Chains A and B, each alone.
Chain A
Amino acid sequence: MADAKDIFLKDATVNAADGDQRAFISKALGGYYTNRDLQKARYRDWERARDAASMAKWSAVNDLANVLEKFVTNFERNGGVVHWARDAAEARTIILKIAEDAKAKAIVKSKCMTSEEIHLNDALEKAGYGVVESDLGEFIQQLRGEAPYHFVFPCMHVKREAISELFTKHLGTAPTDSPEELTMIARRHLRQLYIDADIGITGANFLVAETGQISITENEGNARLTAALPRIHIALSGIEKVVNHLDDLSVLLPMLATAGAGQPMTCYNTLYAGPRKPGECDGPEQFHIILLDNARTRLLADPEQRDALHCIRCGACLNVCPIFKNIGGLAYGTTYQGPIGSVITPHLRGLKQWNHLSGASSLCGACTDACPVRIDLHHHLLHNRRNAAKESPTLFDRVFHNGFNFVIKRPWLFAVGGRLFRATLPLLQKLPLPYMSSWMKTRDLPKAPAKSFRDEWKTQENV
């Protein structure tokens, strides 16, 4: 298998040169910027709201053991069953076991990035279950056999003609270029599947410790149906999704909607407390939650970057990132794309193989500004670069940094070196220098000035 960095560099280069696709993505995001600004303007003080949102997550994450314990107690009191998974394999095993015990056949899923993280669909399909993604974007990506492009807008890179072709091929429907028609095709197709499914799998946006409820945010109504019609509801969630109080949602839900999609509130924000209760006419007989670690505790153990666990997965940092907009979401090769993905993937999957993502940033800070919970994203990218250089310095790191260290401490050597560098600069342009060649392929070195800064300083001082 080629290494993640090589694939990334190759894909990123190809995508960045695809002007047509880049224009398409910019256009798709255009409406988002307008709506987000309109909604943000309704906040009487957006910055204060960010304070409150980040404090809500900070206080839960920094007291995670107690808050989780409280959540679990209340979740069980509501009649739900709690399962713990140290890693992806354990989570898959638990879900397969529930499906087997229930003699399930058909499974319907609503959008759940955590399930992408543990490659759940593959495992379920291999075990012989029919699995259907019900979120429109995820449904399209599932038919395409492709990972989501953006963790909030999974198929934002696909043009309507391609979707029409896809539906014609898989569902036998007539071609159309109307997004409305295409949406209705999916609606009609999926409705019967909810009704026939034995198990509904969802994610969770927030776990409310105080009440033991889980909160799910969605626009389409597919999560509502997934949790209403099948006889078993399984929710899969990372352990960091807890918040202390129900009231925390009064800040987090509107901000998630505004930052992520430019809405006042996402269309459905639903709180589930257990399976169907006595006196209720529908709802599942069983409600399970799988609480997943999968290296989150490793990120937790780094106090400097612990706040990356505050992420509410709104996607705002992707929408404003110049790198994301140019190379696209698939090039990252990660479950979570964009700035937040570049920050957390090295923690979740190894710094050595994934550090190259820390370089996929211009450090412009647009992500940090956009983040509703004030995660210091671009500094964390720098922290990862530093940590990688410490953990396993490359030859270049060593030679360059030690050399620089040596020279800078010796003013005479610095002066001589500078003169030499200025004299040979035109020549350097032509040499196939290691580490510099990819930079110089598209750029020329600047012309050397006649005088160094130090010489110039001396002249001016004497005037």
Chain B
Amino acid sequence: MSDARSDIFARIREALKVKAPRPHLKAETSSPKTSVAAKPWLPDGGESVEASLQILSEQLAKLKAVLIRVPDHVSAARALADLVAQKSWKKVAYHGHPIIQPLVASLPCEAWEADKSFDKQRLEGCDAGLTTCESIVAQLGSILVSSQSSGGRALSVLPHAHVVIAEVSQVVPDLGTSLALAKARHGDTMPSMLSYITGPSRTGDIERILVLGAHGPKELFLILVG
């Protein structure tokens, strides 16, 4: 008996002996899309930094994610402390990244570096997870976290709220740029997880009525520095 792999490949090669016509395209002139050229037919991501930031803040608002803009890291620390106090969070888990460490030093609650001694049960009991990110897509309001930028896979999804700390320079106009950046940065050694987070977790499974916080965080905050 031949093995499944070679059988399936044989079936595929046999099936593809007859060519299928190319799809009917609206614009026959559109060049085959394999490069990372801008795609001027997708939703706009902004031509300038200012335009991108404008689109980003509109997108985040529609997604019910909260954007907090601060000028520098000192005010970021203050904004974070205010948030913790306002939400009365008791336990916060964080990713031990150089830009996060100074921010958690003075938090008015328990702060635990989750990626040092990972414990799922303890993480589940945390009110919020604190991470960095790889990039932010203005076009869609999506935040790209990775298993490297956010201390593994669970920290950005298991606690009940998620706070991302990022710099304005991490905002890119569109998804294509963000993917290209990830590829350029990681090459052949991609983090085991890259995840685009677009707003707090949600479901419409009951009568198609929107409910936030289905399984992941109910609340998403982006503290943007600069």
Contacts and interface: CB of A to CB of B under 8 A. Distances in A.
A268 B124 contact: no
A53 B187 CA distance: 25
Interface residues of B, number: 91
Contact of B205 (A54, A135, A245, A283): A135
Q: Which of B3, B120, B141, B154 has the most CB of A within 10 A?
A: B154
B8 A239 contact: yes
Interface string B28-41: 00101111100111
A43 B41 contact: yes
Contacts of B205: 135-137, 140, 153-156, 183
Interface string A230-259: 000000000100001111111101100000
B215 A220 contact: yes
A161 to B, nearest CB: 10
Interface string B73-112: 0000000000000000000000000000000000000000
Nearest to A269: B196
A461 interface: no
Interface stretch (A300-308, A352-360, A435-443): A300-308
Contacts of B214: 136, 183, 186-187, 219-222
A276 B118 CA distance: 13
Nearest to A300: B15
Q: Which of B23, B139, B205, B217 has the most CB of A within 10 A?
A: B205
Contact of A265 (B3, B4, B198): B198
A25 B14 CA distance: 43
B163 interface: no
A46 B118 CA distance: 45
A191 B207 contact: no
Interface string A283-296: 10001000101000
Interface string A175-202: 0000110111011001100010000000
A66 B180 CA distance: 23
A42 B208 contact: no
B158 A179 contact: no
B151 A281 contact: yes
Contacts of A313: none
Given A52-B39, A264-B198, A269-B198, A274 B206 contact: no
CB-based closest 9 A-B pairs: A221-B216, A220-B214, A48-B41, A228-B153, A301-B15, A45-B41, A250-B176, A137-B205, A297-B11
Interface of A: 28-29, 31-32, 42-52, 54-56, 58-59, 62-65, 68-69, 77-78, 84-86, 90, 134-137, 140, 153-156, 158-160, 163, 179-180, 182-184, 186-187, 190-191, 195, 211, 213, 219-222, 224-225, 227-229, 239, 244-251, 253-254, 261, 263-277, 279-283, 287, 291, 293, 297-298, 300-301, 303-304, 306-307, 374
Interface of B: 3-5, 7-9, 11-16, 18-27, 30, 32-36, 39-44, 59, 62-63, 114-116, 118, 120-121, 124, 139-142, 147-148, 151-154, 157-158, 174-176, 179-180, 182-183, 188-209, 211, 213-217
